[in-house]
Amino acid sequence: MAAVTAASSSDYRLTVIQILWRAFLLPSAVAPSLLLPLLLLTILSTSLLFLSAYSISPSLLDLLSRLSPLLRGDPPPPAFLDLRRALLADLRAIARVAAPSAVLFFLASLLLTLAVLYTLAITYSSHSGVSPSQLLRRIARRWYQTLITRLYVLILTLGLALLTSLTLAALVLALDAAAEAVAGAVAVPAALLYLYLSTRWWISLVVTAVEETWGIGALSWSVELFIGNKKRGTALTLLLKSVQLGILAALGVALATASAGPPGPPPPPPEKQMLLWAAAAAATALWEMFSMAAYAVFYDECRKSHGLELDKIKYEALI
């Protein structure tokens, strides 16, 4: 009987579009007294990150302008030591402004990720709401475990970026080709690998928030759950990341258009640029919450595909 139940539970699988639609409807099942604070705190946390980026943008642009001749392969200027001092000064200015905001954003994002994933996953999986007191108890119990899983994900992400960079540099040296030509051949496989791994990493965060395993255990369990769901998961992450990149690209285009302006008049005031950054921060926060809802639904789909029906009593005991 158990085998029949498991098979019947995995016969019907949601498509990526159906997962996104259920994720769109999922927040409406959360009590407004809980959803609104989570949404406002997510917007506040994302705004902190964008404010930090806005604060360092002048120093970053100055740094890029100094580096551009070297990146093009031009010979070092005569006053190379002065250029190096200027580069170090720009880097110190960036670190001085960005480091405190980055730490605050990481901590705020950690707690919000745990709170949002737990609330959405429990609401969807067990069809029962989560009260604010239950959510606070869960955060108090699982913040450390979520931190460890998040650090693992961060290390793996940085490792993938480093491996991609080293591969690109090795191919450029070995083939004696231009970096642009080699980058095109490396970018597509690296992007597909990142989408594949990123989906598993997000599932490990949902596992950490909802279940009792964490760290390496959550990453290993996400590998098991991902079996048979690779195509759906990778396509889901591709859509979510594409929109996220679209928001950032729209911000870049808007800033470039505003900064260019018509010839003659002075550039637009900083207030207009701040408004663009604030709009992008709000859009990013909303999309981030929607993405977490999508991964909560996909996590449930992964469990059902393996015949693991969710037990409401079990999840109530985990609060």
Tokens of 206: 């949902």
The predicted pLDDT at position 90 comes to 64
Angle at 281 between CA 278 and CA 285, to 5 degrees: 145
**What does the pLDDT read at residue 266?**
54
Phi/psi region, residue 18 (left: phi>0; alpha: psi -120 to 50; beta: rest), is alpha
pLDDT tens-digit series, residues 140-180 = 999 999 999 999 999 999 999 888 878 777 776 666 555 56
Residue 211 makes CB contacts below 8 A (sequence gap 6+) with 218, 221, 318
17-to-136, 193, 231, 243 alpha-carbon distances in Å: 32, 22, 13, 14
Nearest to 252 by CA among 273, 282, 270, 269: 273
Range with lowest mean pLDDT among 31-35, 60-64, 121-125, 127-131: 60-64
Confidence tier at 25 by pLDDT (50, 70, 90):
very high
Q: What is the pLDDT of residue 173?
A: 67
